[in-house]
């Protein structure tokens, strides 16, 4: 349970859903967790409070990642807060989880939709990971949260899948540069996971989605968080440059 003792982690988009589950999992393992949020201050506060209630340490930090200087502002704040708490500004674990989605017919997609999804889902993780070249300590971890929709055909999710697919290329091409310092970088591809989406309230649709997995159940945020925790741990030291299927087999074909 102390796999991340004396480690500092930043999880983007950690006020709810997968990001919250990942932050809680790292906190339980002993990491000091920077809980990033863009708008949901109450959700971020609850994440921090839960980590602290369970005996961990955390703090919330706000930044709008889809705007110019958003990532730079985030890292300025995080490093300042880390220095105040630990005397050191360095990170050990970066989880690029924050994302936005717009769904609809391809012909309904706008240039504004495209620019926003690319800015938050692709550009921000790229810039955050570039920051990791100077912020992450040797032996650190970068984990990008993509989507199983990069493996499926869904015209309504075209732009979202394009933006998330960029994370796999970021992972593949940056692995050699980070590997020279013992830093691993991987992408996790969750399948359909119960993170509060309204479609889970439709029994027929929920049954269809559940049937996609050989395990015959829906994914829970904790399922994905445990995969992230493995990659972030010492046990994940020999995995880098990879895309990890965390869909319960739904993406296996």
List the catalytic residues. 160
pTM: 0.95
pLDDT tens digits, one per residue of 40-60: 999 999 999 999 999 999 999
With beta carbons less than 8 A apart as the criterion, state whether 93 and 31 touch. Answer: yes
Question: What confidence tier does 197 reach under pLDDT thresholds 50, 70, 90?
Answer: confident
**According to the model, what pLDDT value does residue 246 have?**
94
Q: Return the higher-pLDDT residue of 119 and 133.
A: 119
CB 223 within 8 A of CB 249: no
Per-residue pLDDT tens for 8-27? 999 999 999 999 999 999 99
Confidence band for 1, pLDDT divided at 50, 70 and 90: low
pLDDT, position 2: 87
* The pLDDT value given to residue 253: 61
Please state at what angle helix 158-179 crosses helix 111-118, rounded to 10 degrees: 30
8: β partners: 32
Domains of the chain with bracketed CATH: 8-245 (3.40.50.720)
């Amino acid at each position: 349970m102390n796999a991340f003792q004396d480690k500092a982690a930043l999880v983007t988009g950690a006020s709810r859903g997968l990001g919250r589950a990942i932050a809680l999992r790292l906190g339980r393992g002993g990491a000091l967790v920077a809980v990033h949020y863009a708008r949901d201050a109450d959700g971020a506060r609850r994440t921090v409070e839960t980590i602290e209630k369970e005996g961990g340490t955390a703090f919330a930090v706000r930044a709008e990642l889809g705007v110019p200087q958003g990532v730079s502002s985030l890292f300025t704040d995080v490093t300042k807060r880390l220095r105040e708490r630990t005397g050191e500004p360095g990170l050990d674990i970066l989880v690029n989880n924050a994302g936005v989605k717009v769904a609809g017919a391809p012909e309904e997609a706008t240039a504004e939709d495209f620019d926003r999804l690319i800015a938050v889902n692709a550009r921000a993780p790229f810039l955050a990971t570039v920051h990791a070249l100077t912020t992450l300590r040797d032996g650190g971890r970068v984990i990008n949260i993509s989507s199983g929709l990069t493996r499926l055909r869904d015209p309504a999710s075209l732009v979202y899948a394009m933006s998330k697919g960029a994370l796999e290329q970021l992972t593949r091409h940056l692995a050699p540069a980070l590997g020279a310092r013992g830093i691993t970088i991987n992408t996790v591809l969750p399948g359909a996971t119960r993170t509060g989406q309204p479609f889970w309230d439709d029994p027929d649709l929920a049954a269809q989605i559940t049937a996609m997995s050989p395990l015959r159940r829906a994914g829970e945020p904790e399922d994905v968080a445990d995969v992230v925790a493995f990659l972030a741990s010492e046990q994940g030291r020999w995995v880098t440059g990879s895309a990890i299927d965390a869909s319960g087999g739904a993406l296996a074909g």
